[in-house]
Structure formats: structure tokens, C-alpha cells
Amino acid sequence: MTREIFEAEHEDFRQTARTFFEKEVVPDHGQWEKDGIVPRDLWLKAGEAGLLCFDVDEAYGGPGVADFRYNVVLSEEQSRAGVSGPGFSVHSDIIVPYISSLATDEQKQRWLPGCVSGEIITAIAMTEPGAGSDLQGIRTTAIDKGDHYVVNGSKTFISNGINADLVIVVARTDPEAGHKGISLLVVERGMEGFERGRNLDKIGLHAQDTAELSFTDVMVPKENLLGKEGDGFISLMMNLPQERLIIAAQAAAVCDLMVELCLDYAKTREAFGRPIGKFQNTRFTIAEMATEARITRVFVDDCITKHNRGELDATGASMAKYWATELQNKLVNQAVQLHGGYGYMMEYPVARAYLDSRISTIYGGTTEIQKEIIGRSLGL
């Protein structure tokens, strides 16, 4: 399918990204899945290859390319390669934009060059054991002590949590102010009282480190307040559409991949003396998969175009995230069924995709949360 949203330079970059994943990630990804983490060296290689933080201004060591299509291309190629370990998207598409948009010049000088080079790995700590999609249920506190805050609380399901050097912590600076009492604080590796718990044992995404974090009387200097005190909730709401869009783009890429894998398998796998693609049920199943994947691709690409123009609203992002991730899980499930026993074997990419895809309807806001946002936009 020809995709009109991309230009020649994006397709050139696609080859760069594809080569990087095939050379630097695919050969070792199986071992990293056993280890539960990718090595920090990979981040340095990605930084050297220019694959991190495209929109960071040149003044802070970045390429200064404010074109989200490059972010999409990188995520698509990672999805296509079936290597879920590197948390590049979490870093470049979700976390670093908070620093770029909210940080002071001094903070940007301190943090952004390392984010671009891969020397600094980032994470964001929102989810707590008792607060997931409901950010207003946050209990982690940051008490003002004059020239610093004292942070106490715990977070869980934190992507890049083990490797992270900087963690944007969502905390309550005013327990009585509701959502207006939430602020963003940057906790740095080595701060006393900041501890990492276990690297969580997940169903899928085995090579992507996901941690529990705890904060016990962590002294965070006022210089590490990100944005204005009390504006944390608003800042999170402003950046969530981009997070949901990149998840939708990744899901659409997996949908395309499932169609491709099923087509190849249907043409080569034989049963009862002929390729299984010659059976009507197989043809109909793949025809439906291809049609649904195409519809989703057109919609998500339209959302990407709108986002690049600054026109994608929260409702559109929620629609894209809800629809694409639900279809991703549907098509991955169909692909496993079509592959039969081989689809249940981890050496086949459809089996790995089956495990890795399940989280897509949960992280970045569950499907139910997306439907709630859409429903409210309709006046319900």
C-alpha cells in the first residue's frame, strides 16, 4: 500500500531504522528477553545513529526536526522487526517531550543532550499500586521544604524503570487541591531514598524493563520541578494524545505485519495436498484481516497528518488508540489460529506478537478510558 503521508526523506530514514534494528537488535533480542532488559550500550548506539529525540532543538544537541512522521517510521520499523525490548518510543515520544515543552533553559541544558545521545534514559512514574488510569487517585506526595521537596510514595509498571537515569514523578504537592495539586518532579539516579524494586515478570515485552519504584524521603531540589507547581495534571493531559497516537501507529504496524505473515504462510503451508490459502475459509479470513488493517491504516495515517499540523484533539487520539489496539489483538489472535500449532511456538513471530500485543489495550489508558473520553465528547 502506497502511503501518501510520507515523503522521500521519510522512506530514506525508514531504511536507516530498518537496518539498525536488523543489525543491532534482532540478533541479540532473544537473549535480552531472557535477561529481561536491553543493555545500555544499545541506547548509545541508537543515539549515535540519530534515532532518539528527533524534535529536540539543535541548541540542546538534538536534530531539531519537529516532524512526528520520523517518530512513526521508527516505531513502525521496530514493530515490523518484532523486537519489543528497546524503550525508544517511551523515551522519545512520551517522556522527553515533557522536558522539551516544560523545562527551563537550565534544565534543558542539563538533561536534553544526554537524552539525545542515549547517555540519559528516561521514564515517567504515573501508575501506582492503587491508581492506574485514574490519575486523580495519585497518593505519592512531595512536601515543600523551602529549597527542596521531600517525596514519598511508590510507583509500579514503570517502563524503562530499571535503566532510567531520570524519572518524571507524578506527585501531590497539595493534597487538598484535587487535580490542581499534582506536580511533576524529576528524580535522578542516585538520589538517596530512590529505590528500584524488581524487574517485573510480564506476559510479554520480556526484554523491556518494567519496574516498581519507591521513594522514601527523597530530597528533590526545587530546580527539578518540571513546569509550574500544581500544573502537572494539565501537562499530562496535553501530552497524552501523542502517547496514544504512537501506540495506535505501532498497533497499525502490527496489523499490517499479521496480514503479511498470514499471506506468506497461506501460500506455502499445505494441507490435504494444496496450500491452505486455497481453502475458502482461509481466503475469507485473510481478506477480512487485510480490509480491516487497510481501514485502520488510513484512519491512523490521517490522525498522524492532523497531529503534525497541531490539529489532532484528545478524542481523535482516543479513537485511534482504542480502534487500532483492539484490532491488533483481534488480528494477532486470528494469525495464531491460522498458523495452527506453529502459531503457538515461540520461534514463530506470531506467537511472540500474541504475547506482546495484549498490553496495547491497557497501557496509555485502557480501551474503557478511551471510550469514556469519546463518549463524553459526544455529549453523553
**pLDDT, tens digit, 9 for 90 and up, residues 193-207:** 999 999 999 999 999
| C-beta pairs of 19-23 under 8 Å, 24+ apart in sequence | 20/45, 20/46, 20/49, 20/51, 21/77, 21/78, 21/80, 21/81, 21/83, 22/81
Let me know if residue 1 belongs to a domain. no
Residue 312, pLDDT > 90, answer yes
Do 52 and 114 lie in a common domain? yes
Do 250 and 301 lie in a common domain? yes
- Name the residue among 10, 112, 102 with its Cα closest to residue 57: 112
Q: Are 86 and 163 in contact (CB under 8 A)?
A: no
Do 151 and 254 lie in a common domain? no
- Name the residue among 8, 122, 2 with its Cα closest to residue 56: 122
Residue 133, pLDDT > 70, answer no
Query: Which string of b and e fits 220-253 if b means at least 16 CB within 10 Å?
Result: beeebbbbebbbbbebbeebbbbbbbbbbbbbbb
Q: Are 321 and 244 in contact (CB under 8 A)?
A: yes
Do 298 and 195 lie in a common domain? no
Confidence of residue 1 (pLDDT cuts 50, 70, 90): low
Q: Of the candidates 89, 120, 151, which is a domain's last residue?
A: 120
C-alpha cell of 242? Answer: 501523542
Q: What's the mean pLDDT when you consider all of the chain?
A: 96
Do 147 and 166 lie in a common domain? yes
Q: Of the candidates 194, 215, 230, which is a domain's last residue?
A: 230
Question: What number of other Cβ atoms are within 10 A of residue 272's Cβ?
Answer: 7
Q: Are 48 and 91 in contact (CB under 8 A)?
A: no
Q: What is the structure's pLDDT at 84?
A: 95
Question: What number of other Cβ atoms are within 10 A of residue 98's Cβ?
Answer: 21
Residue 59, pLDDT > 90, answer yes
What lies within 8 Å, CB to CB, of 154 at 6+ separation is 128, 129, 140, 212, 213, 214, 215
Q: What is the structure's pLDDT at 131?
A: 74
Number of separate domains in the chain: 3
Quote the domain boundaries for residue 25. Answer: 8-120
Q: What is the structure's pLDDT at 150?
A: 98
Q: Are 91 and 121 in contact (CB under 8 A)?
A: yes
Q: What is the structure's pLDDT at 251?
A: 98
Let me know if residue 14 belongs to a domain. yes
Q: Are 353 and 345 in contact (CB under 8 A)?
A: no
Q: What is the structure's pLDDT at 258?
A: 98
pLDDT tens by residue, 31-55: 999 999 999 999 999 999 999 999 9
Do 129 and 256 lie in a common domain? no
Let me know if residue 172 belongs to a domain. yes
How far apart are alpha carbons 94 and 294 in whole angstroms? Answer: 26
Do 82 and 165 lie in a common domain? no
Q: No. of H helices and E strands in the chain?
A: 12, 10
- Helices 105-117 and 40-48 cross at an angle (nearest 10°) of 100
Do 169 and 114 lie in a common domain? no
Q: What is the structure's pLDDT at 130?
A: 81
Any idea what the CATH number is for the domain that residue 114 is in?
A: 1.10.540.10
How far apart are alpha carbons 244 and 373 in whole angstroms? Answer: 12
Do 24 and 49 lie in a common domain? yes
Do 246 and 299 lie in a common domain? yes
Any idea what the CATH number is for the domain that residue 211 is in?
A: 2.40.110.10
Residue 346, pLDDT > 90, answer yes
Residue 136, pLDDT > 80, answer no
Confidence of residue 12 (pLDDT cuts 50, 70, 90): very high
Residue 102, pLDDT > 70, answer yes
Q: Of the candidates 98, 120, 142, which is a domain's last residue?
A: 120
Do 201 and 74 lie in a common domain? no
Classified as helix, coil or strand, 151 is strand
Question: Which residues belong to the active site?
Answer: 243
Question: Which residue in the block uniquely carries the three cell numbers 512536601?
Answer: 143
Do 163 and 251 lie in a common domain? no
How far apart are alpha carbons 89 and 97 in whole angstroms? Answer: 11
pLDDT tens by residue, 167-220: 999 999 998 888 899 999 999 999 999 999 999 999 999 999 999 999 999 999
